[in-house]
Amino acid sequence: MKKVFFVDDEPLIAQGLSSITDWQHYGIQITGSANDGETALQRIKEEPVDLVITDIMMPRMNGLELIKRVKEIHPRTRFIVLSGYEEFEYVKVGITLGIENYILKPINIDELESTIRHIRGDWEREKLNMFRYEEDWRVLQSNILQRWVLGEIEVQEFKHRAELLGIPLNYKYVQTLVFHIVSEEKSISRLHRPNGLSEECGAIARAAVETEDEVEVICFPDGDEDLVVLYVSDHLEHQEAVLENASVTAERISKMTDLPVWAVRGVISSDFQGVQHSYRQAKMVFQRYLITGQDKTVFMESILPEEEESSTAVWDQEAYIRLLIEGKQEAVVEFIESILPDLFKSSRIPRSTCLNTAIGLMLSAKDLEDRPDYSEVFAQLARINTLCGLIQHVVSVVQRSMNNREETIQHEYSGHVADLIEQVKEHYAEELSLKTISQKLDMHPNYLGQLFQQEVGLSFSDYVNHYRIEKATQLLIHTDQKTTEIAADVGYIDTSYFYRQFKKYAGVSPTELRHMYTK
């Protein structure tokens, strides 16, 4: 809240100014009054104010002298002058000193309030300009620091820029920590201003090491929107205290953003290039691993064992493809949700192995589509950091793929025909009879058959055979299952009858089709 001070040698005017308008309404707090310029100057020295409303003609020190003296110590203070008709020459001097307005006595309240509104507008513009200036300064500082940790700036240039920007350099040790805020649906920049977030993160980190007076904290966002925190000090033991508080910092950042935070500690460095090496090591962890996603904060060292990278994922692709072809979404989702967590028991999950398995699961589903769009498989992978997020992505892609492949535009069909199509979809591997189904629907089989032929363009038996041969084709192409087994799986008990039906609808035999695709 802004502060105002009144100065007038007439006590009634000085006191009356406090009640002449609603100062709180304008965001202004009354800090006091004085009856002469000298007393006012002493009070203002002790407690600076934003606005002074002063008379001109006063004992000991007049209003013009007061304005000069206050401007010397507080140049941003603003002034409104109260004057009489005979004091206009003094008013002209006041104008040269930079007053906001002069108001004749007796005071016109409307004019006073209009002047206050004008001053308030100036204050708001000054605040905005100051914010922009500070924001530009923070962006410039972040850019220099980013170039430093990436090794894109020469030592001498960095030292010169650091001096200008107030970046502390005269310390022996630098501890690098990188805090990755896990947001797999939206980028951090869409949820928070990165520079504003780094400023808050810096404050949190400083508070966590507040007992260490000799530790400086530098915080800035890097190009990936991760928060880089550098703890600089002259004593190695201070860096151990930093480590103890890193998890506290991660917890506070998580609470502030309401998102999980993954923190990685780099090695302690003592020279210009060492910070770059420490930063690269910490960032490498985010590229090499996923986390389970079940904890709000995860803390890791940047040097991790290599053997975890060698794990190999093994899963029954044929069984999975059969589930896809059968079109049972619940069974497919159950398979995915069991296969990925079972592969990796550690809290640190090798990213490459896990992503390869996930991609295999998604591509197996997309390959069954007539016109697959593979972009959705890969588009989100770079932003996924957790196993939970990866499973959700795989399930989402596979479900959409199955819906695309199995979609029949049922709204074009009447209710009874739509029911028949659904029966084929669900029970194609079983004995299907129009007579049996018509009894369930309480309709004459001949009428139901004519209705189906009219709307679908095929007889019911032809539609069933088409559907079975389509499923058989997918199994022949995408699995190594024997032809006799495939025939039984799609509803043909007699293998020779299956061969005849397959050649009738596909134009080639099952063996010939598999040979063409294998070749």
C-alpha of 67 from chain center = 51
- Give the ranges where 367-456 is alpha helix by DSSP (H): 375-378, 387-406, 415-427, 434-440, 445-456
Instruction: Choose the final residue of a domain: 362, 378, 406.
Output: 406
Kindly state whether residues 162 and 295 are assigned to the same domain: yes
328 and 457 belong to one structural domain: no
Residue 103 lies in a domain: yes
Q: Of 338, 372, 406, which closes a domain?
A: 406
Q: Is residue 113 part of a domain?
A: no
Question: What is the tally of helices (H) and strands (E) in the chain?
Answer: 22, 12
CATH classification of the domain holding 513? 1.10.10.60
The pTM score is 0.58
Q: 20 in helix, strand or coil? A: coil
- Per-residue pLDDT tens digits of the chain, which is 519 residues long: 899 999 998 888 878 888 888 999 999 999 999 999 999 999 999 999 999 999 888 888 888 899 989 988 898 899 998 877 666 666 667 676 778 888 888 888 888 898 898 888 888 877 766 655 556 677 778 888 888 888 888 888 888 887 777 777 777 888 889 999 888 777 776 666 666 788 888 888 887 776 556 788 888 888 888 999 888 888 776 666 666 677 888 888 888 888 889 989 888 888 777 888 989 989 988 888 888 877 888 888 776 555 444 455 678 888 888 888 888 889 999 998 888 765 555 666 788 778 888 888 888 888 887 777 666 777 678 778 888 888 899 999 999 888 877 664 445 677 788 888 878 888 888 888 888 888 877 888 888 888 888 888 888 888 888 888 888 887 887 788 889 999 998 899 888 899 888 888 777 788 887 876 665
Q: SS3 of 421, please?
A: helix
Q: How many domains does the chain have?
A: 4
151 with 291, same domain: the answer is: yes
- What token pair was written down for 21? 């308008």
d(CA 358, CA 349) in angstroms, rounded, equals 13
Tell me if 118 is assigned to some domain: no
My answer on whether 325 and 436 are in the same domain is no
Residue 190: CB atoms within 10 A of its CB come to 9
